[in-house]
Amino acid sequence: MQSANMLLRRIVRCSGLPFAVQHGMKKDLFLFSRTLSLSHCLKQDKLEPSEKLDLDEWKKVMKSGLQEEVSETALEPKELSSLAAARETLEMWRLAGRAVPEHISEEQLKTFMECPSKSAKKKYLKYLHLKELHKKNDKRKMDEKRERRLEAQDQASKTDETKNCPFVCLWSRTMDQAYNWRAAQSMVFGQPLVFDMSYEKEMSLREVTNTVKQIVMSESSNRRSVDPFHIHFCNFKDDSLYHREFIKNYRDAWDKLLITVTEQCYTEIFPKEKLIYLTADSPNVMKTFDHDKIYIVGSLVDKSIKTGVSLARAKRLGLETAALPLEKYLLWSTGAKNLTLDQMMHILLTLKDTADWKKALEFVPKRKYCGFVNKPVKELKKTLDLINTLKLRKGQEKVDKQFAKNYPKKYKLKQK
C-alpha cells in the first residue's frame, strides 16, 4: 500500500493532471486515471524502473486525448463565428441592393458558404430570392382567391334573398308567362325563321357546341322580343350531336320549347319562291326586310371560315340567296363578313320591328368596322380612286428620282 501511495503522489506531481485541470477536464477522467493507477499498482508488489516508462506512455495518451477534446470544443465557436460572418455579408449585400432572400435557414447558409466562387454564391442567393418571391406571389394569389370567394358567397346570399322575395318571384313568373304567350302566338301567326341543321358533318364537336350555344341565345332573345319569329329547326335528326348538345343546355325544358323541330327539309314545308337563304358569300345584297318571305340561316360556326358552303347548298336546292349590306352602311376594316347566329337574330328582329339598317347593324362587333357610312357609295368610291391615283403618282415620282440618280445617262436619253 505504501508503494501505491508513493506512486499516486508522483502522478499528481507530474504534468499530466495539472494539464487536464488547466483545460477544464471532467471529473470522470480523474476517476478513470486513479482506478487505472491503483489497479496497476495493486497488481504488482514491487516497482521496477520499466513501470515508469509505462506511466510516461500513459501520460502521452492522456495528453493527446485532452488535445482532441479541446480541438472539438474549439470548432463549435469557429463555426458559429463563420455563420455570423456569412450573415453579415448577406446583410451588406441586401443593403447594397442585390437579390438576397429576406429569410435564410442555417442549412441554406452552410450551402452558401460551401459555394466555390463568388459568382456561384450570387447565383445561389438569386435562386433563393426568386423562390421566396414565388412563394409570396402564391400566398397573395391564394388570399385574393379566398377574398373573391367570400365576396361571391356574400353576393350569392344577397341574390338568394332577393330571389326569395315574393314580389320578385311573382314578377319573374308573370314575365315568363307573357313571353311564353307571345311565343305561342308566333307559332300560329308569326313569321317563320328557319335554322338549317344539316351542317353537322362540316363541323367538329367543339364547333357544334358553340353553334348550339349561339342558337340557345338566339331563341332566348327571340322569346323576349315584342314580335318574335316562329323558329323552325329543319333537317334535325334525333340522337345527333345537335340533339345531345341541346339536351345538355335545356335539360327538361327541351320538350317544353315553343318551336317547331322537324326532320324534313324546308323545301318540303314551305314554297321555294318564298325562301331566301342568308349567306355572307351571296352576290345579292339584301335591300329591305320582306315580311312575306321566309329567311333561312345556316346553323354553322366555322373557325377556319370555309367560304361557299352555305351558298353551294342553296344553289343545289335552287333557292334565292342574299347577304347583309355591310359595305353599304359600314366602313369595314378587318375580318371576314361572317356574323354569329345570335348577332343575326338581333339584326333580323330589329329590322322586323323598325326597318332601320343603322339600328340593326349596331349589333355588328365594333372591332370589325370603323364607323357608319354618311356619304353615298359613289362619292366614297370616287374619293378612294382619287387617293389611290395620288399615291401611284407619288410612287412613280420616287421611282423616277431613284432611276435618275442611279442611271443619269439613260435618264437623259429617256427625257429626249
Task: Tell me the per-residue pLDDT of 174-211, one tens digit each, with 9 for 90 and over.
Answer: 777 888 888 888 888 999 999 999 988 888 888 899 99
3-state secondary structure of 193: strand
Q: Given a cut of 50, is residue 50 above it in pLDDT? A: no
Average pLDDT over residues 311-325: 92
Q: Given a cut of 90, is residue 386 above it in pLDDT? A: no
Write out the three cell numbers for 6: 508513493
C-alpha to C-alpha distance for 74 and 71, rounded to whole angstroms: 5
* Look-up of cell digits 459555394: 115
Write out the three cell numbers for 56: 510516461
2-17 pLDDT tens trace = 454 555 455 544 444 4
Write out the three cell numbers for 327: 359595305
Write out the three cell numbers for 340: 354569329
What is residue 80's predicted lDDT score, i.e. its pLDDT? Answer: 60
Which distant-in-sequence residues (6+ apart) come within 8 Å of 361 by Cβ? 324, 326, 329, 330, 347, 372
What is residue 183's predicted lDDT score, i.e. its pLDDT? Answer: 85
CATH code linked to domain 190-329+337-367: 3.40.1280.30
What ranges make up the beta strands (E) of 288-359?
Answer: 294-298, 320-322, 330-332
Among the ranges given (121-135, 153-167, 265-279, 328-342), the one the predictor scored with the smallest mean pLDDT: 153-167
Question: Are 244 and 281 within 8 A, CB to CB?
Answer: no
Task: Report yes or no on whether pTM surpasses 0.75.
Answer: no
What is residue 194's predicted lDDT score, i.e. its pLDDT? Answer: 95
What is residue 345's predicted lDDT score, i.e. its pLDDT? Answer: 94
Question: Are 344 and 301 within 8 A, CB to CB?
Answer: no
What is residue 29's predicted lDDT score, i.e. its pLDDT? Answer: 42
Question: Are 298 and 279 within 8 A, CB to CB?
Answer: yes
What is residue 343's predicted lDDT score, i.e. its pLDDT? Answer: 92
* Per-residue pLDDT band at 124 (split at 50, 70, 90): confident
Q: Given a cut of 50, is residue 64 above it in pLDDT? A: yes
Question: Are 323 and 279 within 8 A, CB to CB?
Answer: yes
What is residue 327's predicted lDDT score, i.e. its pLDDT? Answer: 84
Q: Given a cut of 90, is residue 246 above it in pLDDT? A: yes
C-alpha to C-alpha distance for 324 and 184, rounded to whole angstroms: 29
Write out the three cell numbers for 36: 487505472
Backbone torsions φ then ψ of 373, nearest 5 degrees: -80, 125
Q: Given a cut of 60, is residue 213 above it in pLDDT? A: yes
C-alpha to C-alpha distance for 160 and 164, rounded to whole angstroms: 6
- What residues pair up with 192 in beta bridges, in sequence order? 230
Write out the three cell numbers for 257: 320549347
What is the per-residue DSSP string for 139-165? HHHHHHHHHHHHHHHHHHHHHHHHHTS
Write out the three cell numbers for 150: 367570400
Domain-wise residue ranges, the chain: 98-147, 190-329+337-367
Q: Given a cut of 60, is residue 25 above it in pLDDT? A: no
Write out the three cell numbers for 42: 495493486
Percent of the chain residues topping a pLDDT of 70: 67
List the one residue out of 317, 244, 305, 236 whose CA is nearest residue 276.
317
Question: Are 178 and 280 within 8 A, CB to CB?
Answer: no
Q: Give the number of other Cβ atoms within 10 Å of residue 112's Cβ.
A: 19
Write out the three cell numbers for 402: 431613284
Write out the three cell numbers for 399: 421611282
